[in-house]
Chain A
Amino acid sequence: MSAVTIPYKQQLRREARAEGIFRFFSLAAALLVLALLAGVLISLCYGGWPALKEFRFGFLTQTIWNPVTERFGALAALYGTAITSLIAMILAVPVAFGIAVFLTETCPIWLRSPIATCIELLAAVPSIVFGIWGLFVLAPVLQHSVQPWLIDVLGDLPLIGKLFRGPPYGIGLLTAGFVLAVMVLPFITSVIREVFLSTPRSLKEAAYGLGATQWEVIWDVVLPNARAGVVGGIMLGLGRALGETMAVTFVVGNAHRISGSLLAPGTTISASIANEFTEAVGKLYTSSLIALGLLLFVLTFVIIAAARLLLLRLESRGAQL
């Protein structure tokens, strides 16, 4: 046996050296996570610099996107990103809230785990699958039934009517918002469900003891108690929606313009990059697309960081209790 032949002290030294190496590598790997973030930021700044230098603040305020004259502005893509994500949130949040309520309160216990698993499987479906489903299944349905109805019913209303005018293309900002809503639904649901589950039992029982109905307990006790977590979950979903690429690229229509109608084709930051990057010729074109990527990264970073901070504060509060 080798252990016998190696003197005791030598073996100790060897162990200590291995300890140093192992510790070094684990620290290096941990620091690599920080380096990744810095690397992404630096490389995007570097790549997008020519465009930012050329257009300065105009890059953020111009809607023009013309590869021929090499004039680029991010406003149309920024607008599309914001609008599609907003639509997604308006559609997904109430449904996610409903599912979370159902799964934590009304659902029979034996059904909870299977349904929760199904909803979470929705999160595992690759985004490209949502994309082709949106293009071939959802878009025609919207085009033939939902959009004509929206145009008829809402198109003539004074203020919001403008949003629902024009021909029903099927693809466009509204459709992209629908697909995004489906995609972020499981993420928001899972966060809301978790914060609902963490409501102290005693609080709920006290409310029931006062004669509250089940709904009143949820709305007046569980929800206020879980408020920060719910907001965090929604923002996490928003961060996802802003950066989602493939699902949107299929259905948004890829038109660099801002039209008043939600039914019209538009584009988002991620869709523009996905669509045009490999075909972009010229330094300024490529650089503008990278600058778009930088914009997207900063935007999602701020939102996700805020969401995480909210959820983190919640966790530490929970630990104190």
Chain B
Amino acid sequence: MNRGSLRKRRITAAVALGASGLATALGLAILAAILWTLFSRGLEGLSLQVFTQTTPAPGSSGGLINAIYGSIVMTMLGLAIGAPIGIMAATYLSEYGRGKQLSTVIRFINDVLLSAPSIVIGLFVYTIVVLGMGHFSAIAGAISLGIIVIPVTVRTAEDMLRLIPSSMRQASAGLGAQPWRTITSVVYPAARSGLLTGVLLAMARISGETAPLLFTALNNQFWSAKLNQPMANLPVVIYQFATSPYKNWQSLAWTGALLITLFVLALSVIARMISSLFGAGETRIE
């Protein structure tokens, strides 16, 4: 194959590799640009009021406390619904169903659900829960978040459980333990940090989710702690306030966006630290 002179080839290589460096710089610049905008606009509206007052009417002052509360409640409920199911399903895939055809199918479907559009999950919960109850509610929002948690936890938890060496399981079985005892007393504790990482990543994933909450939890301008009523939540408040023409609403939207991003990034960093500290291997969010 004639590729021209060595000089030419070296120039091609330099140009192409230079371009790849530029691409990386571009990617980093975008992240920096987003963070910079978030901080510069979000800090403007950040005050104690944000954490003490409820969302205001247009033009008057207020905070985000009801939205923050709603987000925390629904995220926690979503985790409480999704994480145990996800870990149990992962237990089946990694412990009981290893090598079975059924596991291959479930793993595949789970991977597809992992990347499925979250708004479709919202529609699903709407037709099942919201229409069933007759109105929007916080519990419907929590269920749709829980459904998003399941595939994330299944994926990470299975990866983590598989990392546990089978010699540990065999040792436990040799002592006469039933598989379930081996799993709960040997495998889970050994995979503890990995499982925790998975749950944290799932939490990071759902705390910023907006689409599935739009028509399940809806929104609520006032303080509400009732789970069977619409509940305010940060993502939907950010959406509504940012697309409104009112300056004070837009400012609060930026503050909310800053809070949520800091929270999610902190969670991801903590999850990474745990997994690298305890050698739980690479985890991916995808």
Residues of A with Cβ closer than 8 Å to B? 15-16, 18-19, 21-23, 25-34, 36-37, 39-40, 43-44, 46-47, 94-99, 101-103, 105-107, 115, 117-133, 135-137, 182, 185-187, 189-191, 213-216, 218-219, 236, 239-240, 242-246, 249-250, 270, 273-274, 277-278, 289-290, 293, 296-297, 300-301, 304-305, 308-309, 312
Chain B interface residue count: which class?
35 or more
Which residues from B are CB-within-8-Å of A26? 88-89, 91-92, 95-96
Chain B proximity of A286: nearest CB distance (Å): 9
Structural contact, A132 and B286, CB atoms closer than 8 A: no
Q: Is B159 an interface position by the 8 A CB rule?
A: no
CA distance A216 to B8 in the complex (A): 12
Which residues from A are CB-within-8-Å of B27? 95, 99, 118-119, 122, 185-186, 189
Interface residues of B in 186-211 (CB under 8 A from A): 204, 207-211
Q: Can you list 17 A-B contacts with CB-CB less than 8 angstroms, sorted by A residue number?
A: A19-B178, A22-B183, A23-B96, A27-B97, A30-B106, A33-B106, A36-B147, A44-B124, A102-B17, A105-B17, A106-B17, A125-B208, A126-B207, A126-B261, A136-B37, A190-B286, A250-B243
CA distance A39 to B116 in the complex (A): 14
Structural contact, A216 and B9, CB atoms closer than 8 A: yes
Structural contact, B24 and A296, CB atoms closer than 8 A: no
Which residues from B are CB-within-8-Å of A214? 13, 17
CA distance A240 to B154 in the complex (A): 19
Structural contact, A33 and B265, CB atoms closer than 8 A: no
Binding stretch for chain A, among B28-36, B49-57, B164-172: B28-36
Which residues from A are CB-within-8-Å of B207? 126
Which residues from B are CB-within-8-Å of A136? 37, 41, 242
Chain A proximity of B136: nearest CB distance (Å): 8
CA distance A309 to B109 in the complex (A): 11
Q: Is B232 an interface position by the 8 A CB rule?
A: no
Structural contact, A30 and B97, CB atoms closer than 8 A: yes
Max chain B CB contacts within 10 Å: which of A22, A44, A105, A296?
Answer: A22
Q: Contacts A124-B265, A214-B13 given; indicate if A297 touches B120 (C-beta within 8 A).
A: yes
Structural contact, A129 and B261, CB atoms closer than 8 A: yes
Give the residue of B24, B117, B204, B239 whose beta carbon is less than 8 angstroms from that of A128: B239
CA distance A36 to B114 in the complex (A): 12
Which residues from A are CB-within-8-Å of B123? 43-44, 47, 273, 277, 289-290, 293
Q: Is B77 an interface position by the 8 A CB rule?
A: no
Structural contact, A308 and B108, CB atoms closer than 8 A: yes
Give the residue of A16, A135, A301 whose beta carbon is less than 8 angstroms from that of B112: A301
Q: Is B246 an interface position by the 8 A CB rule?
A: no
6 closest A-B pairs (Cβ-Cβ)? A126-B208, A243-B117, A98-B23, A29-B88, A215-B13, A22-B180
Binding stretch for chain A, among B61-69, B220-228, B252-260: B252-260
Q: Considering only CB atoms, which chain A residue lies closest to B235 in the complex?
A: A128
Which residues from B are CB-within-8-Å of A102? 17, 20-21, 23-24
Chain B proximity of A153: nearest CB distance (Å): 21
Q: Considering only CB atoms, which chain B residue lies closest to A122 in the complex?
A: B31
Structural contact, A245 and B117, CB atoms closer than 8 A: yes
Structural contact, B23 and A30, CB atoms closer than 8 A: no
Which residues from B are CB-within-8-Å of A115? 24, 28
Structural contact, B257 and A129, CB atoms closer than 8 A: yes
Chain A proximity of B242: nearest CB distance (Å): 5
Which residues from A are CB-within-8-Å of B89? 26, 29-30, 32-33
Which residues from A are CB-within-8-Å of B284? 190
Q: Is B80 an interface position by the 8 A CB rule?
A: no
Which residues from A are CB-within-8-Å of B112? 37, 301, 304-305, 308
Which residues from A are CB-within-8-Å of B261? 125-126, 129
Which residues from A are CB-within-8-Å of B111? 304, 308
CA distance A172 to B205 in the complex (A): 27
Which residues from B are CB-within-8-Å of A25? 88
Chain B proximity of A278: nearest CB distance (Å): 5
